[in-house]
Chains A and B, each alone.
Chain A
Amino acid sequence: MNAASNLPVRAAGEAGPPPSRVVAVVGPPNSGKSTLFNRLTGLRQKVANFPGVTVEQHLGKLRIEDEAELDVIDLPGVYSLNPRSEDERVTLDVLMGRMEGVPRPDTILLILDVTNLGRHLVLAAPVLALGLPTLIVLNMADELERRGGDVQVEELARRLGAPVALISAASGEGYDTVLQFLRGRIGIPRPVELPALNDLPRCREWAARLGAEAKYLPPAPPVWTRRLDGLFLHPVAGPLVFLAVVVAVFQTIFSAAAPLMDLVDRAVGASGDLVGRLLPEGPLRSLVVEGIWGGVGSVLVFLPQILILFLFIGLLEDSGYLARAALIADRTMAKVGLQGKSFIPLLSAYACAVPAIMATRTIENKRDRIATILIAPFMTCSARLPVYTLIIAAFLPERPLLGPLLGTRAAALLGLYVLGFAAAVVTARVLKSSILKSERTPFVLEMPPYRRPTLRQVGLRLFDRSKVFLRRAGTVILAMSILLWGLAHVPTKNGKAPEIADSFAGTIGRTVEPLIEPLGFNWKIGIGLITSLAAREVIVGTLGTIYGIEGDDDGASLQAALRHDLTPAGAVALLVFFAFAMQCMSTIAVVRRETGGWTWPILQFTYMGVLAWVGAFVAFRLVTALLA
């Protein structure tokens, strides 16, 4: 559409734009679009320091006093209007009004990183050629100033034929100009002739000329970024630092989280007792105390651990280290036929596979993208964390391995993460040398400068994470706990609740028992495996409910109860099972959506299920033999 015309025609200049209704936030990757979008709408879209964070459009509302409400659309970053990947296509489709359910934008905020103005201005040519009222937002003013750069905004506006604002989306400096523009209070300079859009060198020259005319003084190179890269990409120190960080994460998940978990545990226990005393003896009390408190409560305990995990992931993402990790991992990825870009979604799969699968949109090659989607659920997501730590803590005594730096439990957890990663890598290798074979696509990744993560940003992330976690506890896990409690109390025998083994729940568990007996699991674990098809951590809640109902000896912890039902070999088998199985409805749904059909999710579910069974079987036999 744009590459054909040599002299793009723009709408004739008017005194001011008509009051805008739908504002699109456009710009190159990592220029601060989502940061500005969040400021405009008060929403909290994901912001992080690497290119390709936003992969689909997000709508928000902006209300300016005495004006109508505006729709604001946050978009994936683009280098040009010639899309090459799924996320870039989204931006073009929205701009052209071709995206279903998204109104066609009539105003554009073009966000450019002013610390690299020359190259970013190139995008102004195709965007201005769209002929919509456009404000050129030069973002990162704070960084420009700190590193001693400068630009004359009015001059740039005149030469560009579009209004220009110099702002810092992060701190809010200069933000008023953006609002003024959206109110239609900023005069638009006379449009100028744009360079031929299909001639990239000419466009770049045009941008350079504009920069020179606006007296653009590029900032000094980021000294700290070079220093840090000198360390993190050092041939010896780099991998060591990487390893040290990983070990630190796992150790803190166990040691630092423990007191907090105790606290939550005691709060859950005390509130359960209190509620129990307030309610009269009977089915309602049983439902509330054993079903709900036992189920939801036993999952809640893991909130501190999950927050620690997210704290580390947040620091990696906000600082810019993630792009370096992708660089370091590229060789491994190349060996299995993928590229370093696949590594970024895989890393975010440590939080959750769902956003990770969305993030594969940045991978240009379709087959690489599908392969990455298929292996993402092998990465140890945060929902596995409660299951892993519960079983590890129940069966493995804590002993120091590397002094206070690494204990047995953290090492076991680390091992499970490695196991998941290995499964992913081997699967990728198989896929890429068979059904998903493709030409090698070049790995091209822009390295962002390091940025200091702000307390506010990290804090908000943790807050949002807690909300997500609590919402899950309050919906999926609560519903499953109540359902299970119900199934465990019917059919009644002589008006009395049955033994749990004879209840419907027990019957279901005993029906699947033959299938899982070779893995060392009994019918109670079987019930947990079934309920955890909804989401992995549900098994913890389920076991909590079952043991709560059984509960002859109160005070016996979940861990102690678990030791009755599982041999050490069975525990290892259960860990392996959870490492491989695809027990997550949301993941299945998002794979179906992103691959456009049921073929891939069904294949993936079956493959992972078979692998989980076989892996658990082998583990059970092996450990049984070893311990005999």
Chain B
Amino acid sequence: MPSDASAALAPGRAPASAARSSSLRRFARRRSTVAFLMTLPLIAVIGGLVAWPASYAIYLATLNRRMTAFIGLENFDILLENETFRGVIWQSCFFAITAVLLKALIGFWLAHMLHHIPSKGQRKWRGMLLVPWVIPPALSTLGWWWMFEPSYSSINWLLNAFGGPSIPWLGEPWWARISVIIVNVWYGAPFFMIMYLAALKSVPDQLYEAAAIDGATGWQGLVHVTLPMMRNIISITVLFSLIVTFANYDIVRVLTNGGPRDLTHVFASYAFQVGVLSGNIPRGAAVSLFMFPLLAVVAFFVLRGVNRRQKEMA
């Protein structure tokens, strides 16, 4: 570094005989080179934590069960022909899309309500509403499991108290699917709420005043001003949440363990079941790889839209 610095201070003073080392120095002094060197640690971390496991997973997915022979795309073929796995694809999409939509809607509704509470009371409510998000999900899911579990179910007890029937929360496929979604929404909505609250606060009041004078009702202001102004935040949170929800593991694992009849499995829990519990690691890897193209396509379109809007507006 010191020789570098002195070279930078006295450019062109390098003796002609050292032409090669001077061009090397010039290369080292280029901004892009410096930038590359400075980001090298980060690139190494990303390489070690993302690129390597990803390529290793792809490699694994092409091996046979005992990991002794290369079998190409056979694992993927077998999976696609498997009734249970096709159910997993369907359930993963249904689970992720429904849960994310509900989280976004409820999160927005909560944010909107919070935004209209005077700032003194707001902190208290915000803190309380964030609680589901800060409890480790494995733990809170256990609590939900208790509330759903047929013999102790407090929810059913409440339903009965109001004259309703008992519901087989975890025993019947559709109710089990709904239960998993309920818990995921309960856990994830506060994240949306906090993001949308920040976004709401960033919309200048004058825009609402201008809209009110232009003749907008509260609802029209929401549709024509608030939502368009929040579109980037909405797309990014939805994308982010979609990725996390698709890859959700703990809630399904604790609440239903994929049951009844493997009908509530999502990619991650099914990959664990196939790869670790049944000991077919290559096929488990193949299961988890199915998420990737799905999410990549969604991410591509969402991020492109975000980019475009950012250039036009902010």
Q: Do A and B bind each other?
A: no
